[in-house]
Structure 1
Amino acid sequence: MKPIRFPFYIRLGFVLIILIALGYLAVLGEEVLLPLLFSFLFALLLLPLTDFFENKLKWSRAPAALVSVLLFFSAASLIIYVIGLQVAKLSSEWPLLKAQVASLFHNLQLWLQSTFHINMEKQAAYINNISQKGLSSSASLIERTVFSLSAIVLLLVFVLVYTCFLLIYRKLLMRFIVTAFTEQYISIIYDISAQIRYIIRKYISGLFFEMCIITILACVLFALLGIKYVFLLGILVGVLNLVPYVGIFTALAISAGITFATSDGRHALYVALVVLGIHLFDSNFLMPKVVGSQVRLNPLIVVLGVVLGEMLWGIPGMFLAIPYLAITKVIFDRVPSLQAWGILLGEEEHPPKKVKRMIRKVKNKEQAI
């Protein structure tokens, strides 16, 4: 029996309906899907370490997975502890920061009075009005902050637990996927699985390598400029740089603000210029070489994916957008009926220069004839 092939506009309508349904389910199932998707990425990252414990040290699967997750958690905790020490050191200069902000505020008042002829009493009344509104909403702000911190801690716990279970039962999950399809697709499934493992490991390790380079570069440049809290600001720039498109500007604002509060405006300007220079170096050279070469995604699709990820799940969705777009592209490229969508997700392939010259010669000959 010949398979029925619907027109393109009907197939496109089905795709749009499926995408809308998936987006709705993603919003409803955020509490379950978010830690599970992070855990899947971390499990792929820790898989070589788990295989090392199982194959080289002859450990059983559960201890190997547990030790791998604990080592990863310990390394992340060490980084957070070092950052906490730097923040505690910064808090010791709180009186200086208050004096700097008070001086800035006083100068701003004088400028407003001389430029717009707004006297000090009107400015003070306006500020008191704003502060009263801020105090009325401070209780809800504190409540939201506590809730956010507890949600982050709960998310981390679930990510660690899910990662451990995914590493332990990875072969069972693979057997389920293979059994769910007919025998003719088994080789394609194993090929897709191998490509996904390779791309995600390279992508995450590339991000970590990029973060280390950006952190070291920022620390060195800040130290040469005589900026205070070099290590804290360097880590801040390196970590926030991982947030696509908005992270580097957040790092610029925070770094310049801390420098202005602990030094002067000239050093704050230097910090802003250094962060912008690092961003240009990263986006034009480092990111395409270290990370971009692993995913090979269309920049337009990346931007749309990051925006949609933020709309669905906020900042965690922005982190998850790029790796899961890369996974989707791998699947689309290997399924014949979805290869057109894989082309849409990927970069435009340019033929080599030799091929371009040959095509140009053929066209010139045809025009001459």
Structure 2
Amino acid sequence: MSSLNNKTHVVQDLLAFVIIVFIAYITQDFIIPILFAILLSVLVYPIVRYFEKGLCFNRIFSILIAILVFTIIIFTIFVLIGIQFQDIMDKSDMYYDKILEKTNLLIKETENSTGLESKDIVGGDEIEVKEIVKRNSNKIFEFITSSGSILSDFVLTPLYMFFFLLYRSFLISFLYKTTSKVCDRKKMRVILDQLYNVQQNYLVGLVSVMGIVGLLNSIGLLALGVDYPFFFGFLCALLLLVPYIGIIIGSILPALIALATKDSYWYSIGVIAIFGFIQFIEGNFITPKITGSKVSLNSFVSILVIILFSMLWGIPGMILALPITASLKVVFDHSDKFKSIGFLLGQAEEKYFSSKAKYRLKLWRKIRKNKDKK
């Protein structure tokens, strides 16, 4: 009977999970701006709190100033990116001709060294990049906007941020009342504090990492003499919002610019190598050091959730995957029913990577040490 009840509970949990995913998919245009608003509210809350407690400003006034400053910063960044990108696009014909010239030269060298014909290498007589872009421009635009209206998200997110910050005490009281039968007020307070710390740690750490990676990228491009080093360096750092994939996308443009403006192919290879090395440093040293252990998701889970959330919500899903999963881990860690899932999401301890041979070696050394003492 107990076994039957357990199976029933498992089926119910799976059904509930499927329903939640289905609802999240069909209501993504509504949910995504709210989730971004929650994350950004956590990011600007320290500023709001400083205005309220440090400068004794009115709550509404404090929230409006914080959101206005934040919106101006974001808007300025996108304007600067747009201006610089337009300057690059004005020179696109020159870059295109030089890239095509070097590509054709490389194809001829490959023909001479391998005996293959150019149509066997590229699948046609000529590489018409412009025509490909023109024919598929509508599809590209649809891909960018497929996860919801950018304009509506840009308007709604600050509005949601304002109300989340304004009603924060009211919403916390609502959570206390809703969860009173599941856990006591003290435990819920601990969970909320941990959720806030996880998100704050992730967001502040992400901004800091972007600054460091952007500077390292720019120095690398500057050393190679690539055009627009600081633009490409910090653009690639900004694409860290899309984990793992952003660095790949961000390295393509400067590599193409290097191919168009430099005499040797090695400059393009150098760009990709430098960005790859910086990505390795960022993933293994910079991010763990700055972000710390509070966003303690293991690498395998991180990759899986990024793929799954991208299938669910597209590019916004890739950005939201890690903070949402980190929040779920906090909730699972405080749940007796789902504690094992929280354990699975977290970082594996060193003992799970040690081999039996290593354990035997330690045991042998311990025995030898005891014998020497005797």
Quote the residue 1:367 is aligned against.
Answer: none
Quote the residue 1:202 is aligned against.
Answer: 201
Unmatched runs of 5 consecutive residues or more in structure 2 = 368-374
What secondary structure sits across from 1:293 in the alignment? Answer: coil
What secondary structure sits across from 1:342 in the alignment? Answer: helix
Matches within 5 A, 1:222-301: 222-264=221-263, 265-291=265-291, 293-301=293-301
Distance in 2 between the 1:93 and 1:262 partners? 11
Kept in 2: contact 1:306–1:318 (CA 8 A): yes
Quote the residue 1:18 is aligned against.
Answer: 16
- Shift of the alpha carbon at 1:7? 5.0
Matches within 5 A, 1:48-87: 48-87=46-85
Distance in 2 between the 1:23 and 1:12 partners? 17
Q: 1:126–1:217: structure 2 CA closer, same or farther, 3 Å change rule? A: closer
- Shift of the alpha carbon at 1:13? 2.5
Distance in 2 between the 1:252 and 1:328 partners? 32
Unmatched runs of 5 consecutive residues or more in structure 1 = 365-369
- Shift of the alpha carbon at 1:173? 0.8
Give the TM-score of the pair, scaled to structure 2: 0.83
Give the TM-score of the pair, scaled to structure 1: 0.84
Kept in 2: contact 1:203–1:295 (CA 8 A): yes
What secondary structure sits across from 1:116 in the alignment? Answer: coil
Kept in 2: contact 1:96–1:262 (CA 8 A): no
Kept in 2: contact 1:86–1:231 (CA 8 A): no
- Does 1:333 find its partner at 2:359? no
Instruction: Give CA-to-partner distance per residue, 1:73-99, whole Å, 9 cap, x none.
Output: 111122223223322332343343133
Kept in 2: contact 1:113–1:119 (CA 8 A): no
Matches within 5 A, 1:1-369: 7-107=5-105, 110=108, 115-117=115-117, 137-138=135-136, 140-141=138-139, 144=142, 151-182=149-180, 185-264=184-263, 265-291=265-291, 293-350=293-350
Aligned length: 354
Q: 1:139–1:309: structure 2 CA closer, same or farther, 3 Å change rule? A: closer
Percent identity for Structure 1 against Structure 2: 27
**Letter matched to residue 252 of structure 2:** A
Instruction: Give CA-to-partner distance per residue, 1:63-122, whole Å, 9 cap, x none.
Output: 2111111111111122223223322332343343133033135425645765334689x9
Kept in 1: contact 2:25–2:312 (CA 8 A): yes
Kept in 2: contact 1:109–1:123 (CA 8 A): no
TM-align CA RMSD: 3.4
Instruction: Give CA-to-partner distance per residue, 1:47-66, whole Å, 9 cap, x none.
Output: 11111111122222222111
Q: 1:5–1:206: structure 2 CA closer, same or farther, 3 Å change rule? A: farther
Kept in 1: contact 2:226–2:254 (CA 8 A): no
Q: 1:97–1:143: structure 2 CA closer, same or farther, 3 Å change rule? A: closer
- Shift of the alpha carbon at 1:290? 2.0
Q: 1:131–1:40: structure 2 CA closer, same or farther, 3 Å change rule? A: closer
Once the two structures are overlaid, the 10-residue window that deviates more, 99-108 or 13-22, is 99-108
